Amino acid sequence: MLKTKYAGQGSAAQKYDLITALGSHALSLNKTEQRRVLRLITLVTARYNWGRNELAVGQREIARLWSCDERTVKREMARFRALGWLTVKRQGARGRVTEYQMELADVMNDTRATWEAVGPDFALRVEGAPEQTSVVPFPAGTQSVQSPPPDISDGMEWSLAQAVLHQEDQARFGAWLQALTRGERAGGRLTLRAPSRFHARYVQNNMAREVLLACQAVDSSVSEVLITG
């Protein structure tokens, strides 16, 4: 399911994902279409009210922002409406500009073809993977749940590093790091295995530095940690 709420916790990252999707989509188009999407990106970045899901800007102001005339603004806004990317929330009247809202799901669906060009994790993050619902976000109160300490009896660097990570944040350890198992060790590179590709990507993208530092704290010869799923 596409994420279409761009306010509240995590909204900043979601806005960046929206802009990234639009930018990648634009670069796959001809120059005329590229300029059109760039105009929308600039308008949304500068003037969109995310809290109210609203764009309320007059044509004259948009023309200044886009360095064009008001006829071009009228034509381009009509084009965005035809695409289904913008809809009229409240029609303008004397002394009041027309208010628009972005149809975020439609925008993201229309840019889907270029998501893979951004990176293999992009679609998972934007669309949401089934595995995610079981571990994030943390339900209220889970931060206080006690996670059992890891078994360090084998004396391996990853077991000892897990003990360090457990002490730092038990809730995050229980949700993400406890399930990682030790794989191969080649020189300074340590490979950890996650139960799924999504799990591996999430840890690699969000916790890789903490994992590496914990490993180095117990074994200074570790120079790289690779997480696979």
11-128 maps to CATH 1.10.3470: no
Note if the pTM is more than 0.95.
no
- What residues does each domain of the chain span? 11-128, 142-228
* Predicted local confidence at residue 146, as pLDDT: 61
> Which tens digit of pLDDT belongs to each residue from 35-86?
999 999 999 999 999 888 899 999 999 999 999 999 999 999 999 999 999 9
* Predicted local confidence at residue 141, as pLDDT: 43
* Predicted local confidence at residue 47, as pLDDT: 92
Higher-pLDDT residue of 131 and 198 is 198
DSSP for the chain, please give it: ------SSTTHHHHHHHHHHHHHHHHHTS-HHHHHHHHHHHHHHHHH-BTTTTBEE--HHHHHHHHTS-HHHHHHHHHHHHHHTSEEEEE--BTTB--EEEE-HHHHHHHTGGGHHHH-TTHHHHHH--GGGGGTSSPPTTGGGPPPPPPP-TT--HHHHHHHHHHHH-HHHIIIIITT-EEEEEETTEEEEE-SSHHHHHHHHHHTHHHHHHHHHHH-TT--EEEEE-
> Which tens digit of pLDDT belongs to each residue from 18-44?
899 999 999 999 999 999 999 999 999
Could you tell me the fold of the domain covering 142-228?
GMP Synthetase; Chain A, domain 3 (3.30.300)
Q: 142-228: same fold as 11-128? A: no
> Which tens digit of pLDDT belongs to each residue from 128-159?
644 433 334 444 444 444 678 888 888 899 99
